[in-house]
Structure 1
């Protein structure tokens, strides 16, 4: 298990591991090194490195490993470029943490000591996030034996972050909390990365059920008959083409007795594999449709984090889990579905299935729990990738204050989101001649018309919809960030946990 600690200079032995020194590109004076740690007098690094080399190494992310003799001992040093120190932000600190871990892993250094090139507790928290998140590995299928996964570097990794004697870092930073949140991200990544023959709706429900071992968590799994009896025909219609029956996963985290402690409801789309149904997708890159369950995986990751953190709040997660397959029993273009809240939907494209299952779950969550807020997460539209690319998620809602708060928090976590408008013109595009609404609104504004569809199922409850189609996993155009390995990113978990902590019941 990873071990991270904040240590006084006097308590650290630099001979025990890789010693990391942050190097600013804008400072050509070699005395800069001495200003960043009390240990540099002993190292005399300036005797070994030409000043011109130092300037090049100082560029963000650049690094070099030095091995130096000190009497009969070897000091192993990593000079790490931090770029212009005045322009560092939290995401750059997060990336620096990831670079340190990945370099340690490459060189098989299981012990690392990091000098104090940071300037605040928040910076250190970001470094720790990057250190941990970068070490995620999805390797359970690389071992010949099904009951054994290869060992990971993460399981035997130790990091000491140096603080000065007068610093209060040790008291200000909750390392255990940061690691717990990162491990919740790992859990979500594992689920999303798992292939569709391993994670179908039933397997996802079984995984959710394991969260019940955690404090304050209760899990209910509704089967196909129960879903049908409730009138959730959106979920039933999408799932009926598959041999794997749909499930409705409900995870309740109850940790507040406040008189006004209305729950916050989180809804996550979990299409464990999406062929497009009768409106079948092209075969190219269809394998990536295992990631169409990412919204549900994100929500389960959030609940796992809450179970570890003991936040005094009530939160309910609702995850409709289906597999969208073509068969003789599949729903068809032209079908009209009566949804949980009584509204009818004309189906024009069976590949616009995510909004159907989300709609039922949103309406159910509001009717059953009368929430303070309701948030949903979905890999919903390719149009969002066209609009915002693969590094920014879209957010749309009916409450500007709620949306603005979420956008603000995303700037801290580096999980970038951008608000898109929701106006009557887009609602007009989904009006149907034969039903209340239709499930697609044409080629233009596809992300917004999808949200306009969902808005029919949230009434006046403050609501925010996250379209994470571009950010849920690494794709063409995804920025190369050290803390986001290939595959699932677990996007949104860290932002929403911050949001929930700020909305805890007093």
Structure 2
């Protein structure tokens, strides 16, 4: 079963005559700076509504509206429109404020068409991105009558380039959100791999490695995670070669469903483990964005796709497994499976591609949620330059990321009596010991960043640019990192 994928809303760019404002049906969205109507559109609306715009902008309610937020004015006199949405946007608004302003428009979107008067907005790409990202709604499995949303028409001169740039990013984010939102009975390892092969239409080279090939390569840690599932384990390799430079690698954990295996999770909240493939989802979204915008960079994205289930064949606590690297791992807890998947895929990525840098993403630990909540991903690294470049990109995209400590003292917790290491190191510093485990599969001198995205992948409520559910965190930051680091 292949579900219909959600496409990003693409606003229509129009040329609009302000003289016809009085007869515009539906909704009007207007960006204003202060407490007095100054733009041509604002002054025109003020005259038509007999000063109601001026009154609203001088009110106490408007004074509480922050940049990017809106005040709704319903059924103003002199206008056919059912509502005018006043959105505060300073002339020197930041990217984040401008995106929030765009999101304010589509957050209030209903059946009515929306006319967005955007002349004078400085950061058009950010405005369009906010419009498109907040228009997202995953309704694939809703069987009742669906509300048909109104069109979004934007009046702005020469906005085509900004719209296309924003669309490339939005499509990647939404691809990730769709993957994360899908239920596990639909997004099996086979279905996931099939959707990734669809990126070939955009010029991405896609290879799917099956279990026979993974066994030949020695990826026994990864195979040990999926051995209890009816869904075959796979590794998908996506290559975007927009330059002749040496490749940069992105690696994602794709556990399509995680019961914890034999170390089974508690029932409460287990349904959310459909999001445990979030790292792979982000890598897929980044690869789509790079292809859509024809990035002048060489990037390879690798994802390990498995399902962690209890079964008579499943890996048991106490089992010892040899990795592709050759190290042996005593599996103490089968619910700490993501690091096993990453260990083999990271080693394979380094052996085959010899990347200039490598970033892996995983919804890896509950410990990072305890430490950072849902506002920041945990960032672990052995390379200050690469880590700093990522943190700078994440800050520019307003995607929360916080560097966490690492150090050899934490390795003591991973010592095994029987094998080279254990896969867990106890409750204390759980996110750090997980990162220390992964670091053992990073070669000497290899620049590496590990992103623990367990807290930021699935929003418990509206996050500003996304409704409740999958956020698509990381696509924007990694796309910017590629542009900053590899395309200059």
Q: Same fold (TM over 0.5)?
A: yes
CA 1:453–1:319: 2 relative to 1, 3 Å: same
Q: Which residue of 2 aligns with 1:399?
A: 383
Question: Following TM superposition, by how much is the alpha carbon of 1:304 offset from its aligned partner in structure 2, in angstroms?
Answer: 1.1
Q: Give 2:287's match in structure 1, choosing from 303, 309, 315.
A: 303
Q: Which residue of 2 aligns with 1:248?
A: 235
Q: Give 1:315's match in structure 2, choosing from 292, 295, 299.
A: 299
Any conservation in 2 of the 1:23–1:57 contact (CA below 8 Å)?
no
Within-5 A mapping of 1:41-440 = 42-44=47-49, 46-47=51-52, 50=55, 54-58=59-63, 59-60=65-66, 61-70=69-78, 74-82=80-88, 85=90, 89-103=94-108, 105-106=109-110, 108-115=111-118, 118=121, 120-121=122-123, 124-143=124-143, 153=149, 157-162=151-156, 170=159, 174-215=162-203, 217-257=204-244, 261-440=245-424
Question: Following TM superposition, by how much is the alpha carbon of 1:425 offset from its aligned partner in structure 2, in angstroms?
Answer: 1.4
Q: Give 2:27's match in structure 1, choosing from 18, 28, 39.
A: 18
> Is residue 494 of structure 1 aligned with residue 476 of structure 2?
yes
Within-5 A mapping of 1:437-456 = 437-456=421-440
SS at match of 2:315: coil
Please list the CA deviations of residues 216-238 of structure 1 after superposition, one character each: whole Å capped at 9, or x if unmatched.
Answer: x1111111111111100111100
CA 1:316–1:11: 2 relative to 1, 3 Å: farther
Question: Following TM superposition, by how much is the alpha carbon of 1:422 offset from its aligned partner in structure 2, in angstroms?
Answer: 1.3
SS at match of 1:415: coil
Between the aligned partners of 1:481 and 1:23, the Cα distance in structure 2 is 23
Residues matched between the structures, number: 475
Any conservation in 2 of the 1:346–1:438 contact (CA below 8 Å)?
yes
Question: Following TM superposition, by how much is the alpha carbon of 1:9 offset from its aligned partner in structure 2, in angstroms?
Answer: 7.2
Between the aligned partners of 1:143 and 1:51, the Cα distance in structure 2 is 41
Question: Following TM superposition, by how much is the alpha carbon of 1:482 offset from its aligned partner in structure 2, in angstroms?
Answer: 3.2
Name structure 1 gaps, 5 residues minimum.
Answer: 164-168
Any conservation in 1 of the 2:382–2:449 contact (CA below 8 Å)?
yes
Any conservation in 2 of the 1:34–1:41 contact (CA below 8 Å)?
no
Between the aligned partners of 1:90 and 1:23, the Cα distance in structure 2 is 16
Any conservation in 2 of the 1:391–1:471 contact (CA below 8 Å)?
yes
CA 1:51–1:152: 2 relative to 1, 3 Å: closer
Q: After alignment, is 299-308 or 44-53 more displaced?
A: 44-53
Between the aligned partners of 2:289 and 2:296, the Cα distance in structure 1 is 13
SS at match of 1:284: coil
SS at match of 1:352: coil
Question: Following TM superposition, by how much is the alpha carbon of 1:69 offset from its aligned partner in structure 2, in angstroms?
Answer: 4.5
TM-score by length of 1: 0.87
Question: Following TM superposition, by how much is the alpha carbon of 1:2 offset from its aligned partner in structure 2, in angstroms?
Answer: 3.9
Question: Following TM superposition, by how much is the alpha carbon of 1:141 offset from its aligned partner in structure 2, in angstroms?
Answer: 1.2
Between the aligned partners of 2:55 and 2:43, the Cα distance in structure 1 is 21
Any conservation in 1 of the 2:46–2:52 contact (CA below 8 Å)?
no
Between the aligned partners of 2:155 and 2:397, the Cα distance in structure 1 is 21
SS at match of 1:186: helix
Name structure 2 gaps, 5 residues minimum.
Answer: 1-7
CA 1:348–1:47: 2 relative to 1, 3 Å: closer
Any conservation in 2 of the 1:348–1:438 contact (CA below 8 Å)?
yes
Any conservation in 2 of the 1:3–1:159 contact (CA below 8 Å)?
no
SS at match of 1:235: helix
Question: Following TM superposition, by how much is the alpha carbon of 1:115 offset from its aligned partner in structure 2, in angstroms?
Answer: 4.5
Question: Following TM superposition, by how much is the alpha carbon of 1:7 offset from its aligned partner in structure 2, in angstroms?
Answer: 6.6
Between the aligned partners of 1:474 and 1:286, the Cα distance in structure 2 is 16
Tell me how large the CA RMSD over aligned residues is: 2.6
Between the aligned partners of 1:87 and 1:348, the Cα distance in structure 2 is 54
CA 1:162–1:12: 2 relative to 1, 3 Å: farther
Please list the CA deviations of residues 379-434 of structure 1 after superposition, one character each: whole Å capped at 9, or x if unmatched.
Answer: 00000000000121111111111111111111121211111111111222212222
Q: Which residue of 2 aligns with 1:166?
A: none
Any conservation in 2 of the 1:238–1:331 contact (CA below 8 Å)?
yes
CA 1:13–1:51: 2 relative to 1, 3 Å: closer
